[in-house]
Amino acid sequence: MTAQARDATSLTSAVPVMSPDLIRQVDPGDGVREMSYQEAIREALREEMIGDPRVFLMGEDIGKHGGAFGVTRTLFDQFGGERVRNTPISENTIVGAATGAALVGMRPVAEIMFVDFSGLAMDQIATQAAKIRFMTGGQCSVPWVLRMPQGGGAGKSTAAQHSQSLEVWFASIPGLKVVLPSTPYDAKGLMKAAIRDDNPVVFLEHKLLYAFKGLVPDGDYELPLSRCDVKRVGDDVTVVASGYMVWHAMLAARILEAEGISVEVVDVRTVSPLDEETIGASARKTGRVVVVAEACRSYGPANEWAMVAIERAHDRLRAPIVRVAGRDSPIPFANSLENGVWPSTEDVVAAIRQVVGSPA
Amino acid sequence: MTAQARDATSLTSAVPVMSPDLIRQVDPGDGVREMSYQEAIREALREEMIGDPRVFLMGEDIGKHGGAFGVTRTLFDQFGGERVRNTPISENTIVGAATGAALVGMRPVAEIMFVDFSGLAMDQIATQAAKIRFMTGGQCSVPWVLRMPQGGGAGKSTAAQHSQSLEVWFASIPGLKVVLPSTPYDAKGLMKAAIRDDNPVVFLEHKLLYAFKGLVPDGDYELPLSRCDVKRVGDDVTVVASGYMVWHAMLAARILEAEGISVEVVDVRTVSPLDEETIGASARKTGRVVVVAEACRSYGPANEWAMVAIERAHDRLRAPIVRVAGRDSPIPFANSLENGVWPSTEDVVAAIRQVVGSPA
Amino acid sequence: MEVALQTLLEMYRRMVRIRQFELAATNLFKRGQLKGTVHTYIGMEASGVGVCMALRTEDLIAGTHRSHGHNIAKGADLARMMAELMGKETGYCKGRGGSMHIAAFETGSLGALAVVASGIPLAVGAALAFQMRREDRVAVPFTGDAGSNTGNWHEGLNMAAAWKLPVVFVLENNQYGVSTRIDDVTRIHDLSLRAAGYGIPGVRVDGFDVLAVYEAATTAVARARAGDGPTLLVTESYRVDGHYAGEPEVYRDRAEVAEYRAKDPIARFRSRLIGELAVDILALDAIEAEVAAAIEAALAFAREGSEPDPATALDYIYA
Amino acid sequence: MEVALQTLLEMYRRMVRIRQFELAATNLFKRGQLKGTVHTYIGMEASGVGVCMALRTEDLIAGTHRSHGHNIAKGADLARMMAELMGKETGYCKGRGGSMHIAAFETGSLGALAVVASGIPLAVGAALAFQMRREDRVAVPFTGDAGSNTGNWHEGLNMAAAWKLPVVFVLENNQYGVSTRIDDVTRIHDLSLRAAGYGIPGVRVDGFDVLAVYEAATTAVARARAGDGPTLLVTESYRVDGHYAGEPEVYRDRAEVAEYRAKDPIARFRSRLIGELAVDILALDAIEAEVAAAIEAALAFAREGSEPDPATALDYIYA
Ligand SMILES: Cc1ncc(C[n+]2csc(CCOP(=O)(O)OP(=O)(O)O)c2C)c(N)n1
Ligand SMILES: Cc1ncc(C[n+]2csc(CCOP(=O)(O)OP(=O)(O)O)c2C)c(N)n1
Ligand SMILES: [Mg+2]
Ligand SMILES: [Mg+2]
């Protein structure tokens, strides 16, 4: 099941009808506020900067301007230009300088404005930062976070060089941790963990999620890197997804609930190193697996989740695994083409129906 | 089945006992010579340069020096420094300049000295060259070839920044073609096709194969890009592999022949776009699949081959697919560690035994 | 420098075409009739037009995220440009590219790439092809001030200089990269000084003065054609609009913007044409009317076109 | 510049240590006792030693593929260096790195990275940390002539200059990048001219003269410590060995090599020490003997060590 296969005129992928109560991770109450994914990231940055003088931010236009998506807005006013540092347009050097600062004990949070520009920085990300600790026999470590917005959709028409999902570039390189949160709660807790982690953490933020709201506790909490999160418990089929795709999965699950299909949703919120155990356990329980990723289908990240399910649950699988993924295409500008490029909720619904063997 | 799982002290991966007659693609005779993989590439470059004035080579030290592996040796003497052009150390610009020249009608063959340095050039490879044709609605095309040696093994100890297998970075980007030949015959025919192709073709050459010999016809022949090649016909199990791993697969097949296990070997010599049909057909025929890649296991290229086998042959699969892949680690320098980092023939043998259900 | 009347009028025409196009695009964008993003060239018209008027059709430019102006300066058709902004099949890029990737190959383009400075290597490679084929052509990549801090920029200037390629590197210093003043991310104020590091001439001109730009570009282009290698040409101007249409501009004073808006290169050229060069005011008014009509026609053409058929989604990925 | 006798002798010692280490390594490599590859620093000792003697232990260097010399100049232990070259657990990098990634953090290293110029951003980042923490420390990345054509190099100099970071960029012009003469890939001959593009001082010194390098480095380091920002320091030398041990050198005349070999920075320094500076010849002979013994001890130590235990294969991938 691929994006190609479905009616490209469907508008579902362009209309995020997801509401925050699809995913409820904390109960409302004292010390819990509703905030957006973007606010949650900002809050994590702010709290970590207050708590640890080693933490600082660097990236293009993250100062007064607040970054291309406003994530760092207000931080410049609070912390000043030394700790919220506008850089020249020098992606490889932004990352490399973060590495250098990290090697001498700082905890930089660097930003590349769009993940699409990481092609300029892959050397410092994958060939230097990921490997220095290993190559030097553990003489050093590289505790940085690299924030990069990725993904597309909703008719935004940011076209081929501002819309990609590239987690497979990073996840295929040992030595990096790769995070892709799907909710405000996860974003805050994972950002805190990422900053405190002693490894280089690639922190991917989905652009369409920035405005999504959810409940987030005040103050300090950390979520473990390298664990998947079961966002919904179910019995009949496991959907493994990450980032924005988790919302398609949750919505699909709700839709199919009415038909009596019980869907478990495993959120790969830490893409790498992968928590194989949680995926394996869920696959063993349900015996049916759908994997969903926004990235292009061929050689995409969802393949890994499928392989893990096979390796850990093959004797329990009752149906072949089905993948849902982006079209193998550069991202087009025109809405008529953009609409079909990414998976939609219907794609996920159809894939689930396929594995449970019920007709559409 | 992963490299980790086996006895890391095994030396098989370091000892290429493969002999040319393991793969026989042409019969000896007039107009057929034995030559190395490296010579075959050079012959293709030479013939294409003779036949087409638009073809030229650019890269670091490819002139008199002949490149890091001697592939272009003698070409400088024959064609001069204008068409065999030493560049500054400027990887992104080497690729981008090749794109610019290609856009105005040349057919550049650019070289990056080791695929590990492609991290510096991913922007021009994946974000520019791969997408320009699409982004401009077909106003142009980018007929270049980008040669990059990759891979490691045989106790060469080139360590973490000169040994990687990175095909997944390229294969996950639509718009690129990705080739990884396993034999001299394939290398020559695929190089000719790559140069004549109107798309950007990433041509990966396995360093350990440069010295491997095989029979190659004189003069002109082209092999299709985007087809897998069935290197060995068999009935019981399909091994899908590419590059150096094809030799492990062939050797494994020969070893298991004695036990009456008939192995089909599908060589993914064009990694992308993937010839799903051949993989699917072989999987349907044998009902058992092992996928083998040298790259790191997690989020590695072999996953795609496995997914295609599932999508195209799930109703015929009689055993879960098993993957064999490199260890999730930067490449270590010391032989004692390097030995275990890549798959060996024994790993492939063990994986085949696993899928056919026979005890080791 | 003696410039023919016809050339002067054509310069004026192209500048006005850019201005009117950008105003129309901004207007559409603000009314929600354009998707994506719009980076206008308003206030910088003299730079692109001065450079492109010094070029022939067969010379090539490489664009950026801010290339409506470059394309129009090089002679692109307004209707197909506008259709592209609207994502129509009738646009230059058949709706696949949009504002940030708009490029008219028929009028001499190597593409418009939105990754800052990534067009530099393309121009270097095209120039290499020209040199190898002994063609009398020049390649001209545009970048901004901020773009000159990228690795691509350095590698490209070095390679072109080493090989004496026919390139004119146009660095449009509009003083900002998004919100960041060039002076905050580069220690030198005169960016043309960088040419010394490559052994090529560095020239700095008033980017509000189309004739000054034209003259400097003509010299640089002649040098390139003569086989003497590249030039770095810095045009000093200002970005009077936000980085993109609707950008909040929290990083600068309105007074600063107003000061530079007053330097309007079109108004300035117009008074010079009328005052110093004795051009008939009616001729200029006629140009403005003609352009206004062309914009109307472009809008109509663009609206009329349809978006690409989803059945063609896989076209143009491979050749 | 007045230099204390003790300092002079330490310079001499470090240069001899580098030379002897490289000769021993080459010898091992040619006899097949080393895996991987060996890029020697022979003939360039004055550059690394002149620079590192101007540094304190807490100042940091960033290395390259050719960093045996840089490490020894900064004070690294010969035995752990040699053990690393042999891939032993007792090596600085526990056998994981080998010759191209050898780095002794305890003596002030940021790592040795084999991708040309990739150490530049590391040094810039470390210097940024020093500046933010108001630490009196300097970061010194080494690169070659060819390395100065990379995008990293430009981005790093620009960023450090813009922020006035305490960095001394040492560009070791040994005239070749592998087989390629710098003059064939760069139009300027005096690479220090590039400093003008960043608004920082560019200094060019004889890289065969350890005292000249030391003096220039001392000035640059003082400038950095004073908060006045980076300097580009070009040391002019030559690579007398092949690019790596055993490299065929088809691209240059033996006569050219012989001419430069005659400039041997150690022999030159020795005669100057004896002639001009009245150093006792016996003191120098003693140093040589001491180093020879240290090399023997290093070889023994390295041979004695064992390769990493395969059971530890997954160590150090994550912290
Ligand atoms: C490599 C890269 N980094 C960041 C961006 C995001 N971005 C788009 S335009 C821009 C500023 C460019 O400034 P300048 O080069 O001066 O051109 P101007 O916009 O002023 O015309 C930035 C940072 C990008 N497109 N590419
Ligand atoms: C980015 C990159 N490109 C190519 C190489 C291969 N390579 C290793 S050393 C070298 C030449 C470096 O020359 P230079 O910077 O002058 O240093 P030198 O070897 O002369 O000390 C090259 C091309 C590399 N390691 N990294
Ligand atoms: Mg600007
Ligand atoms: Mg050199």
pLDDT band at A10 (very low <50, low <70, confident <90, very high): very low
Least confident of B149-163, C41-55, C72-86, C207-221: B149-163
pLDDT digits (tens, 9 = 90+) for B149-177: 999 977 788 999 999 999 999 999 999 99
CB contact under 8 Å between C188 and D194, yes or no, is no
Mean pLDDT of the B273-289 span: 98
B61, B64, B333: residue with CB nearest D95: B333
- When the pLDDT of each residue in chain B is averaged and rounded to a whole number, the result is 94
Q: pLDDT at residue B5 above 50?
A: no
CA distance B265 to B305: 13
The catalytic residue positions of B are 162
Q: Which of D65, D68, D118, D241 to mutate to test the pocket of ligand 2 (most atoms within 8 A of CB)?
A: D65
The reported pLDDT for the residue numbered B154 is 74
Q: pLDDT at residue A11 above 50?
A: no
The reported pLDDT for the residue numbered C146 is 98
C92, C118, C128: residue with CB nearest B101: C128
Closest CA to D159 of A118, A58, B121: A58
The reported pLDDT for the residue numbered B198 is 98
pLDDT band at C208 (very low <50, low <70, confident <90, very high): very high
Mean pLDDT of the C233-247 span: 97
Q: Which residues have their alpha-adjacent CB atom under 5 A from ion ligand 3? A: C 144-145, 174, 176-177
**Cα angle: C297, vertex C300, C301; to 5 degrees:** 85
Q: pLDDT at residue A359 above 90?
A: no
pLDDT digits (tens, 9 = 90+) for A245-270: 999 999 999 999 999 999 999 999 99
Nearest ligand, measured from the Cα of C65: 1
Which residues, in sequence order, are CB contacts of D45 under 8 Å at separation 6+?
D14, D15, D18, D19, D69, D73, D210, D265, D266
Tell me the nearest-neighbour CA distance from A22 into chain B, angstroms.
Answer: 29
Phi, psi torsion values for B164, nearest 5 degrees: -80, 165
Tell me the nearest-neighbour CA distance from B143 into chain C, angstroms.
Answer: 9
- From chain C, pick out residues whose CB is under 8 angstroms from the CB of D149: 154-155, 158-159
The reported pLDDT for the residue numbered B275 is 98
Three state DSSP letters for chain C: CCCCHHHHHHHHHHHHHHHHHHHHHHHHHHCCCCCCCCCCCCCCHHHHHHHHCCCCCCCEEEECCCCHHHHHHCCCCHHHHHHHHCCCCCCCCCCCCCHHHCCCHHHCEEEECCCCCCHHHHHHHHHHHHHHCCCCCCEEEEEECHHHHCHHHHHHHHHHHHCCCCEEEEEEECCEECCEEHHHHCCCCCHHHHHHHHCCCEEEEECCCHHHHHHHHHHHHHHHHCCCCCEEEEEECCCCCCCCCCCCCCCCCHHHHHHHHCCCHHHHHHHHHHHCCCCCHHHHHHHHHHHHHHHHHHHHHHHHCCCCCHHHCCCCCCC
Q: pLDDT at residue B7 above 80?
A: no
pLDDT digits (tens, 9 = 90+) for C160-173: 999 999 999 999 99
pLDDT band at B358 (very low <50, low <70, confident <90, very high): low
CA distance D199 to A51: 37
- D158: tokens are 């620009």
Mean pLDDT of the D256-269 span: 97
User: What's the D178 CA to ligand 2 centre distance in angstroms?
Assistant: 6
CB contact under 8 Å between B333 and D87, yes or no, is yes
Nearest ligand, measured from the Cα of A116: 1
pLDDT band at B6 (very low <50, low <70, confident <90, very high): very low
**What is the CA D132 to chain-centroid distance, rounded?**
27
The reported pLDDT for the residue numbered D242 is 97
Place of tokens 């790093």: D156
The top-level CATH class assigned to C5-300 is alpha beta
Question: Taking the domain A35-217, which CATH number applies?
Answer: 3.40.50.970
pLDDT band at B9 (very low <50, low <70, confident <90, very high): very low
Place of tokens 């050079």: B42
- C311: tokens are 């059945």
Q: pLDDT at residue A14 above 90?
A: no
Nearest ligand, measured from the Cα of C146: 1
What pTM value is reported for the model? 0.97
User: Is CATH 3.40.50.920 the right assignment for the domain spanning A229-356?
Assistant: yes
Q: Give the percent of chain C with pLDDT over 90.
A: 99
Q: pLDDT at residue B3 above 70?
A: no
Which ligand 1 atom sits closest to the C-alpha of C145?
A: 16
Q: Residue D185 pairs with which residues in a beta bridge?
A: none
Find, in chain A, the residue whose alpha carbon is nearest to that of B1.
A311
- When the pLDDT of each residue in chain A is averaged and rounded to a whole number, the result is 94
Q: Residue B149 pairs with which residues in a beta bridge?
A: B205
Confirm or reject contact between B136 and chain A (CB < 8 A).
no
Q: Please count the other Cβ atoms lying within 10 Å of the Cβ belonging to residue A273.
A: 19
Mutate which: B9, B65, B89, vs D, most D CBs within 10 A: B89
Which residues, in sequence order, are CB contacts of A50 under 8 Å at separation 6+?
none
Residue type for position B13: S
pLDDT digits (tens, 9 = 90+) for B77-113: 999 999 999 999 999 999 999 999 999 999 999 999 9
Q: Does the C-beta of D262 come closer than 6 Å to ligand 2?
A: no
Q: pLDDT at residue D24 above 60?
A: yes
pLDDT digits (tens, 9 = 90+) for A288-305: 999 999 999 999 999 999
Element (H, E) at D44: none
Rg, chain A, Cα only: 20
- The residue whose C-alpha atom lies closest to atom 14 belonging to ligand 2 is D144
Q: pLDDT at residue C260 above 70?
A: yes
The reported pLDDT for the residue numbered A358 is 64
The reported pLDDT for the residue numbered A19 is 76
Q: Please count the other Cβ atoms lying within 10 Å of the Cβ belonging to residue A257.
A: 13
The reported pLDDT for the residue numbered B18 is 66
pLDDT band at A155 (very low <50, low <70, confident <90, very high): confident
- When the pLDDT of each residue in chain D is averaged and rounded to a whole number, the result is 97
- From chain D, pick out residues whose CB is under 8 angstroms from the CB of B119: 115
Closest CA to A180 of A211, A212, A150, A141: A150
Mean pLDDT of the D161-190 span: 98
The reported pLDDT for the residue numbered B20 is 76
Tell me the nearest-neighbour CA distance from A218 into chain B, angstroms.
Answer: 36
Q: pLDDT at residue C270 above 60?
A: yes
pLDDT band at B15 (very low <50, low <70, confident <90, very high): very low
The residue ranges of every structural domain in chain D are 5-300
pLDDT digits (tens, 9 = 90+) for A214-223: 999 999 999 9
pLDDT digits (tens, 9 = 90+) for A330-339: 999 999 999 9
Q: What is the DSSP letter of B235?
A: S
Q: pLDDT at residue B4 above 50?
A: no
Neighbour subunits, B (≥3 Cβ pairs < 8 A): A, C, D
The residue ranges of every structural domain in chain B are 35-217, 229-356
| Helix/strand/coil for D2 | coil
